[in-house]
Amino acid sequence: MFSASRVMSFTAGQVGMLGGVFGAWFILRLHLPIVVGFPLTLLACAGIGVLTEIVAVRPVIAGLEKHLYVLSTLALALMMQQFTAIEWSTEPQPFPRIVGRGFGLDEKFWLPLLACAAVILGLELLYRRTLVGRAFLAIAEDNYAASALGLPVRDLRMASFALAGAVAGLAGFAGGQLLLASIANGPMLNFYGFVPVALGGLGNNRGAIAGGLLLGLFQQAANFLVGGVLVSVAVFSAFIVVLMAAPQGLFGAPPTRRV
């Protein structure tokens, strides 16, 4: 999404939260089988990605010099959260078991890891092996040049938002048993999602993965050593220190200036 539009959307965390809520709704409330509920969840989240592009990004993107954060996505994110609170629940709700067996480690711990690996692999293949993936990179690199070459910029941007929605939905679904289907997960996923992305370097997927793993290790170490509210203090202190030392992120390329 960031690659294709240069927009950091505040809806990402909320769509992740909705991945858990939709999963619980389809499977536990509507009693759909998992093989139906899971693709429906991804589809619904992709739809919300498209909606974000149409409602919150497209009307404002043309008038912005440097996009990065579009506040209209924050407004939409807050609307999503309120709507979910009213229609779903303000209390966390249970999420169904998916596989039903642990292989030594409970599935709630390894399912998110598996989903993460699948996404990394999928995105790498997309960007390196497919024309669509290369087109995403092309419009991110230079919007005007890409459209001058005849690339359907708007459609590609919409496709990237749909893909981002589905990926966020997958994250929410895979982590549903750990996070529970709760509206409180939206802001939390936004905060803890942004940190590794910024640490790794914006638009750098492999950097974000490394940043995420480092953050996870650091957070758990802090959790065991200091615990409680001090964990987020420790995480954000480390984040600030790293960004002061390397503003472009640990793995990001230093900004180039056009002359």
Partner 1 sequence: MLITRRGAMLASAATLVGAAPLARPALAQSGPILIGWLAALTGPSSAPAIGFDRGVRFAVEEISTAGGVKGRRIEIVTRDTQGDPTKAVNAAQDMISRQKVNAIWGPTNSGEALATTAVMARAKMPNIHPCVVDSLIDPAKYPNAFRVAPSNGQWDAAVRNYCENVLKVKDVAVVGDTTGYGASAVAASVAAFRKEGANVAYQTQIDATQPDVTPDMLRMRNAGAKVIVVWSVSTGMEARLMNVRAALGWDVPIVGHPALGSGDVRQLLENERNWEKVYMIGYASCSYDANGKLPPRTAAFVARLAGKVALDDTSLWWVASGYDAVKLVAEAVDATGSSASDAIIGYWNSLRAYPGIFGAYTWTPEQHNGFPTSEVVMSQANSQKDGAFKLAPGYA
| Nearer CB in complex with partner 1: 127/192 | 192
State the minimum distance, in angstroms, from the CB of residue 5 to partner 1. Answer: 28
CB within 8 Å of 104: residues ≥ 6 apart: none
Binding site for partner 1 (CB under 8 A): 85, 90-94, 175, 178-180, 182, 184-185, 188, 220, 223-224, 227-229, 231-232
- Smallest gap from residue 225 Cβ to partner 1 (A): 9
Say how far residue 12 (Cα) sits from the centre of its chain.
5
Tokens of 120: 């990394």
Instruction: Report the DSSP beta bridge partners of residue 8.
Output: 69
CB-wise, 135 or 189, nearer to partner 1? 189
Q: Are 250 and 207 in contact (CB under 8 A)?
A: yes
Backbone φ, ψ for residue 134 (5° rounding):
-65, -35
Nearest residue (CB) to partner 1, 172 versus 252: 172
Query: Cβ distance 172 to 14 under 8 Å?
Result: no
Buried b or exposed e, range 222-250, using 16+ CB within 10 angstroms: beeeeeeeebeebbeebbeebeeeeeebb
Shortest spacing between CB 256 and partner 1, in angstroms: 39
- Work out how close the CB of 182 gets to partner 1 at its nearest, in angstroms, rounded to a whole number: 6
- DSSP, collapsed to helix, strand or coil, labels residue 180 as coil
Distance CA 92, CA 85 (A): 10
Residue closer to partner 1, measured from CB, 199 or 222: 222
Nearer to partner 1, 58 or 97 (CB): 97
Helix ranges (H only) for the chain are 2-5, 11-24, 34-52, 58-61, 71-87, 107-129, 131-141, 143-148, 153-174, 176-179, 185-200, 205-225, 230-245
Q: How far is the CB of 79 from partner 1 (least distance, A)?
A: 16
Nearer to partner 1 (CB atom), residue 175 or residue 252 = 175
CB of 91 to partner 1, least distance (A): 4
